[in-house]
């Protein structure tokens, strides 16, 4: 079972294309955009999105895609760190 776990981790790591720096940069950008929309409201939304009816309320409440981006990058970072820590243990 341990050997299977190590092989699975190695397989997952071989598919991992993004670096830690890339993940952190995306996470920081997602957090910054979320904060900007929370603080500035519609002023932080592009004119194009506003014309289509996608305002700050849409992005924060009705379809919280900005928070979902943050959560996704946080999960990716946790997985990256967990896999790297497990590889260094063995």
Tokens of 2: 């341990």
The tens digit of pLDDT for each residue in 3-52 reads 444 554 555 555 557 899 999 999 999 999 999 999 999 999 999 999 99
d(CA 9, CA 6): 5
| Nearest C-alpha neighbor of 66 from the set 89, 85, 39 | 39
Average pLDDT over residues 68-77: 95
- Specify the number of domains making up the chain: 1
For residue 84, the enclosing domain spans 2-89
pTM > 0.85: yes or no: no
What pLDDT is recorded for position 2?
A: 42
∠ CA 28-33-34, rounded to 5°:
100
């Amino acid at each position: 079972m341990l050997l299977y776990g190590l092989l699975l981790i190695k397989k997952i790591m071989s598919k991992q294309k993004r670096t830690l720096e890339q993940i952190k940069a995306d996470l920081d950008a997602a957090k910054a955009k979320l904060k900007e929309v929370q603080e500035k409201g519609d002023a932080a939304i592009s004119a194009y999105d506003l014309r289509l009816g996608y305002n700050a309320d849409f992005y924060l409440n009705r379809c919280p895609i900005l928070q979902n981006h943050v959560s996704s990058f946080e999960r990716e970072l946790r997985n990256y760190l967990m896999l790297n820590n497990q590889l260094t243990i063995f």
